[in-house]
Structure 1
């Protein structure tokens, strides 16, 4: 009887990351292979270099100059890395960090010119790729850094949500003061 199982593919050694060794996951093929995800993050964030400097940028910084649609397109391309992390079983707290990195890049990237400069410096795709590498190499469900990051993010969002409330109370007190009704806060 003929063997129907697929034979493993032997690939030449690739360029290893300086942070963590690459690990393959059974069934992670196609667009979700390490090499493809690394290439995608490099193309989006560090593919080009300004001659005579160490400044690197990618398509994310260039396409972002197209009003409205540029940041949307690169944001959609960036979700491939996050989706690959989910498929590979990366801890949800790490995926949340990846989504926040991507969200920060897309939201700040909407600001004309300054947003594009921020995209060049922030490099959310490289950050997310390194988070994926770390999660696949350590086999831990989450790290204290992930939880601190999410806690600080939650505190920041709560503070941001409180700003309109505090402003409304302040304006109300000023209006009541002008009407002769003094309210102590």
Structure 2
């Protein structure tokens, strides 16, 4: 399935949001598994790098949500988007299971679909400056939660290895 482009004629920001479409394709659908229609992007590949890859994917997803918020996404829509990236980041950071999860759960693509539906339903609200502070706080909370989960996971793995050796 190809990612859905953001289409909305009610805003002058169309050119600025082309970056969002490009990044979503890169993160979620850039590559196709030969002989199939299955697509994947850099997100699951970055997930193979412990901690750093998950943080990089989270950073890109957070920037996409902030960009969409600046261009008229409602507070409710941004909250849904943050839930998507929280699921993607937290479950994606689990070794092995998270890597498989990352290939199928495409948070950025889901967020673009949410934004597209938002514009098609005529709920565009103009500038999202009022939502930006909430987004920043949400992203910081998610980042802190991610760091804590990764720390706990690393400590658990360390104790498991210490018990074996």
TM-score of the two chains, using structure 2 as the length reference: 0.67
List per-residue Cα deviations over 1:133-172 (Å, max 9, x = no partner): 221232237xxxxxxxxxxxxxxxxxxxxxxxxxxxxxxx
1:105 to 78, 84, 88: 88
Q: Report the CA distance shift for 1:63/1:77 in structure 2 as closer, same or farther (over 3 A).
A: same
Q: 1:118 aligned to 2:120?
A: no
Deviation at 1:27, TM superposition (A): 4.7
Q: Cα 1:138–1:73, aligned 2, differ >3 Å: closer, same or farther?
A: same
Q: TM-score, with normalisation over the residues of structure 1?
A: 0.60
Which is higher, the Rg of structure 1 or of structure 2?
A: 1
Q: Larger RCO: Structure 1 or Structure 2 (Cα < 8 Å, ≥ 6 residues apart)?
A: 2
Query: Corresponding residue for 1:52?
Result: 35
Higher helix proportion (structure 1 or 2): 2
Aligned to 1:22: 8
Q: Give unmatched runs, 5+ long, in structure 1.
A: 1-15, 142-185
SS in 2 for 1:79: helix
Q: Distance in 1 between matches of 2:81 and 2:91?
A: 16
Native 8 Å contact 2:8 2:14 kept in 1? no
* TM-aligned CA deviation for residue 39 of structure 1: 1.2
Listed as ranges, the gaps of 5+ residues in structure 2 are 125-165
The SS at the match of 1:111 is coil
Note the alpha carbon deviations across 1:5-54, whole angstroms, 9 max, x for none: xxxxxxxxxxx948x7433622565xx42x22111111101111111122
- The two structures, once aligned, show a CA RMSD in angstroms of 2.5
Q: Distance in 2 between matches of 1:109 and 1:17?
A: 23
Aligned to 1:68: 51
Written as runs of structure 1 = structure 2, the 5 A alignment for 1:25-174 is 25-27=11-13, 32-33=16-17, 35-140=18-123
What do residues 68-93 of structure 1 show as CA deviations (whole Å, max 9, x unaligned)?
A: 11011011011122112211121111
Alignment coverage as a number of residue pairs: 124
Distance, in Å, in 1 between the alignment partners of 2:99 and 2:87 is: 12
- Bigger Cα displacement from structure 2, 115-124 vs 98-107: 115-124
Contact 1:28/1:88, CA 8 A, preserved across alignment: no
SS of alignment partner, residue 72 of structure 2: coil
